[in-house]
């Protein structure tokens, strides 16, 4: 599986610990999700909602105009939704700043390698899959323009 370096490192971090510790790692990551820039202050109006997530999650994708077409990711998720915030933080840590082509090349099911199936419900994992699908759709739209 070909993953951007920071995403591959996260996958390794999760696979190096047992199921109970994976949930703890996810919760720790949830606290590292960056604040939104002011231009996205009204998330519901300026960002795309990921309806498959059990908690309200909004995301925005920007692609730089430079030759590398670097992807910038922005997420809004409530503090009382640590699992959703953890998933968003995995996406942000692993994909933010990566070239568009590398983001589009991430396997749609990469999250199975995190080994979270024993720690969170399949419904929650579908939310993570939907996040990646929406990120890719927005990257495709931005690079096609």
User: 5-144 domain in CATH 1.25.40.10?
Assistant: no
Question: How does DSSP classify residue 37?
Answer: P
Cα distance between the two ends of the chain: 29
pLDDT in tens, 105-122: 999 999 889 988 887 877
Residue predicted with more confidence, 43 or 37: 37
Tell me if residue 22 falls in helix, strand or coil. Answer: helix
- Summarize the confidence of residues 44-60 as an average pLDDT: 90
Rounded to 5°, the CA angle 31-12-118 comes to: 70
Half-sphere exposure of 18 (CA within 13 A, CB side): 1
CA–CA dist 105, 80 (Å, integer): 32
Tokens, residue 140: 């495709």
Burial of 127 (0-12, 13-18, 19+ CB in 10 A): buried
* CB distance 108 to 131 below 8 Å: no
The ranges assigned to domains in the chain are 5-144
CA–CA dist 113, 8 (Å, integer): 10
Give the per-residue pLDDT at 24: 93
User: In degrees to the nearest 10, what's the CA dihedral of 135, 113, 83, 44?
Assistant: 10
pLDDT of 139 strictly over 80? yes
pLDDT in tens, 119-136: 787 778 888 999 999 999
């Amino acid at each position: 599986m070909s993953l951007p370096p920071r995403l591959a490192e996260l996958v390794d971090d999760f696979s190096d610990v047992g199921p109970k510790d994976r949930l703890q790692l996810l919760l720790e990551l949830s606290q590292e999700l960056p604040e939104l820039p002011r231009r996205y202050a009204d998330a519901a109006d300026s960002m795309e909602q990921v309806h498959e997530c059990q908690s309200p999650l909004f995301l925005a994708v920007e692609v730089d105009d430079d030759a590398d077409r670097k992807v910038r990711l922005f997420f809004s998720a409530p503090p009382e939704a640590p699992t959703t915030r953890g998933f968003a933080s995995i996406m942000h840590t692993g994909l933010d700043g990566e070239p568009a082509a590398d983001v589009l090349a991430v396997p749609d099911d990469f999250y199975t390698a995190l080994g979270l199936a024993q720690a969170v419900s399949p419904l929650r994992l579908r939310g993570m899959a939907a996040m990646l699908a929406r990120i890719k759709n927005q990257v495709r739209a931005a690079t096609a323009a």
